[in-house]
A and B are shown apart, each in its own frame.
Chain A
Amino acid sequence: MNTTMRARERRSYAIRSVVMLALTLLMAIPLYYVVISSFKTQADMATSPFGLPATWVFENYVSAFMNENVWRSFGNTIIVTVFGVVFQVLIGSMAAYGMILRSSRLTAGVGALLVLAFCIPMQSTIIPLYRLESQLGLVNSLTGLIIIYLGGAVFCYFLIIGYMRKLPMELLEAAKIDGAGPFRIYWAIVLPLIRPILITVIVFQTLGTWNDFVWPNLLLSSAERRTVVLQVFNAMGQFTTNWPQFMTITVVVLIPVFVFFLFCQRWIVAGLVAGSVKG
């Protein structure tokens, strides 16, 4: 009886392994297709899209790395993501701290307003915000993009306050008795204490900001200001006759995302779950 059960378990393990291997490979086909195409010539890519390259070509990578627009787009995206996320997290965590400092009619009101803001889809503010940016002369500037991304502070606030409410309040009380002011408590005690959620929020928002397409596409018109995603999008139009070049740029652009994923996978998952607990 015991041996038949073990045999059955071994068989189902084998079946699961085979089925999941097949499924995983099937899922990976588009990724394989992009990578393999980047080593092909145009003709090779057209005749055998999923086969190995007839001859391995590396010129696509040489010209992708020589393409200064690609490098510049990395620079732009890094600037926008760093400033955007730092300010979002700062504003969101400050608000969360302000909410737990005391409960009053003010904090209750702000809490209600922020729930409201959270329910408003981005689509309903897109036209006035674009108009505002053009009135302020911020169209086609990275500053304008960063300002738009500050809206993400509301999401950060919701993730952070859930965590902050669970902090031991005696710790903050003790710091207060020792003479620390509210700003010092925020900076020296609260922020270090909420580090796990801060990392989660930073990783999650970095991904969202880095990947955004709507606002860069609306705001950024000149080639020098493009973010990475916009650069790839434009490469599509630019290399209509040179597919492998487009695939190569896509690979180059996805490498940092892949590295980020390797190092931050568990934080992305944590953000997914934390965000879900709040939702």
Chain B
Amino acid sequence: MALTLEAPAVDIGKAARAARRPRRGRRLTGDGVASSVFLLPILAVFLVLFAVPVVQTVYYSFTDYKGLAPVVNWVGFDNYVQIFNDPSLLVGLGFTLTFALTTTIAITALAIPLAVVLNRKFMGRTFARSLFFFVGVPAQAIIGLIWQYIFSPLKTGALNSFLVTLGLPSVPWLADSTLAQFCVIFVAVWAQVGWHATLYLAYLQAIPADLYEQASIDGASRRQQFWNITMPELVPALAVSSFLLITGGLKIYDLAFALTGGGPGYATNTITQQIIQRGLSQFDYGLGSALAVLFTIACLVVVLLQIRAATALTRRYS
């Protein structure tokens, strides 16, 4: 009994030692294997959700692929030519670019002073910080729907009936092309200014207070302090915030779609809406893909320009 008990015990010890030895050997050279194993899932994601679809989009953009018909013909640049000859599609491109640029400028111009004030003491500061930030938290689609009731061009629309009680004429907010574009931009600024002020605030709070103390002792005015201390310290935040704004602005879809449905006419159509409507709803995969390719190129150009501007700015101030 004792022997039989002992024998497996020895065996287990041996097996354990034997198992441990090669494992240690593998471990020494095994980081490469482990590393590849850990990278596998993201490579799968990259392949399935990014690489293959992008290649397909580029390919479709040169074909007349309709999704339904089995025959796919190579049509060269026909889809691209069609886009540049279709005013309704160009309007979408124009509005998307206008939206990205104006929201970036307006939000930056408002968020910096807002952050400076939010960084100073006043009554109800915590509440103000939270509220400005909170309006950017709900889904953009829901925000768009809420504002649709407010900007409703009917006399019963919230803002219009308020104007009428003040004795003012009602305004065709979402029924007029230019006004509708303004409304989409306005709501985007309303929703995002708090987020970006918060971003600037985080950088403001990192500025050492003795910089300001020293400056006041040296007799610098508040204005001088702002331009010579605060602004240079905010340059990194400016680079980041404007990057987020411009890339996010180019991708606008939910807000405009919920607020105006893209109308009136094509006034607030965004590229994303057109890719979805022309490409998927109307089964014109070729045209939709060509739009997507143009959009991607536009994004890359804008992002490169933005990065270049930001680097130049950062270099000047550091």
Contact = CB atoms under 8 A, between A and B. Distances in A.
A254 B142 contact: yes
Interface stretch (A63-71, A95-103, A194-202): A95-103
A213 B254 contact: yes
Interface string A48-91: 11100000000000000000000000000000000000000011
Contacts of B82: none
B134 A102 contact: no
A150 to B, nearest CB: 5
A153 B271 contact: no
A163 interface: no
A4 interface: no
A232 B145 contact: yes
Given A127-B275, A129-B49, A254-B142, A276 B123 contact: no
A277 B156 CA distance: 46
Contacts, number: 264
A276 B199 contact: yes
A259 to B, nearest CB: 11
Contacts of A128: 52-54, 56-57, 60
A121 B296 contact: yes
B90 interface: no
Given A21-B123, A124-B54, A127-B57, A279 B131 contact: no
B42 A124 contact: no
Residue of A49, A50, A268 with most partner-chain B CB within 10 A: A49
Interface in A167-191: 176, 179, 181-183, 186
Contacts of B257: 213
Contacts of A250: 142, 145-146
Contacts of B280: 126-127, 130, 218
B117 to A, nearest CB: 6
Looking at chain B's contact residues, the main secondary structure is helix
Given A49-B162, A153-B42, A127 B60 contact: yes
Residue of A47, A253, A269 with most partner-chain B CB within 10 A: A269
B149 interface: yes
B196 to A, nearest CB: 9
A149 to B, nearest CB: 10
B292 A123 contact: yes
Given A24-B127, A127-B288, A243-B149, A154 B253 contact: no
Contact of A121 (B130, B145, B194, B251): B251
Interface string B256-300: 011000000000000110011001100001001100110110011
Nearest to A183: B34
B5 interface: no
Given A106-B36, A243-B149, A254 B138 contact: yes
A98 B37 contact: yes
Nearest to B124: A21
Interface residues of B, number: 96
Bin the interface of chain A by size: 35 or more
Contact of B137 (A91, A120, A268): A268
A43 to B, nearest CB: 10
B27 A110 contact: no
Given A106-B36, A258-B134, A279 B244 contact: yes
B132 A24 contact: yes
A119 B300 CA distance: 8
Interface stretch (B174-182, B207-215, B235-243): B235-243
Interface in B122-142: 122-125, 127-128, 130-135, 137-142
Contact of A182 (B34, B121, B198): B34
Residue of A13, A125, A247 with most partner-chain B CB within 10 A: A125
B251 A106 contact: no
A121 B275 CA distance: 13
A7 interface: no
A245 B250 CA distance: 33
B317 interface: no
9 contacts: A27-B135, A30-B146, A98-B34, A101-B34, A121-B247, A124-B295, A126-B275, A181-B34, A183-B34
Given A176-B27, A276-B244, 6 more contacts: A16-B121, A17-B122, A116-B50, A124-B54, A151-B50, A250-B146
Interface of B: 20, 23-24, 27, 30-32, 34-39, 41-43, 45-46, 48-54, 56-57, 60, 67, 117, 120-125, 127-128, 130-135, 137-143, 145-150, 156-158, 161-162, 190, 194-195, 198-199, 202, 237, 240-241, 243-244, 247, 250-251, 253-254, 257-258, 271-272, 275-276, 279-280, 285, 288-289, 292-293, 295-296, 299-300, 303
7 smallest CB-CB distances across A and B, nearest first, come from A98-B38, A182-B34, A211-B139, A125-B53, A49-B158, A276-B240, A95-B42
Interface of A: 13, 16-17, 20-21, 23-24, 27-28, 30-31, 33-34, 37, 46-50, 90-92, 94-95, 97-99, 101-102, 104, 106-107, 110, 113-114, 116-117, 119-132, 147-148, 150-151, 153-154, 157, 176, 179, 181-183, 186, 207, 210-214, 218, 229, 232-233, 236, 243, 246-247, 250, 253-254, 257-258, 261, 265, 268-269, 272-273, 275-277, 279
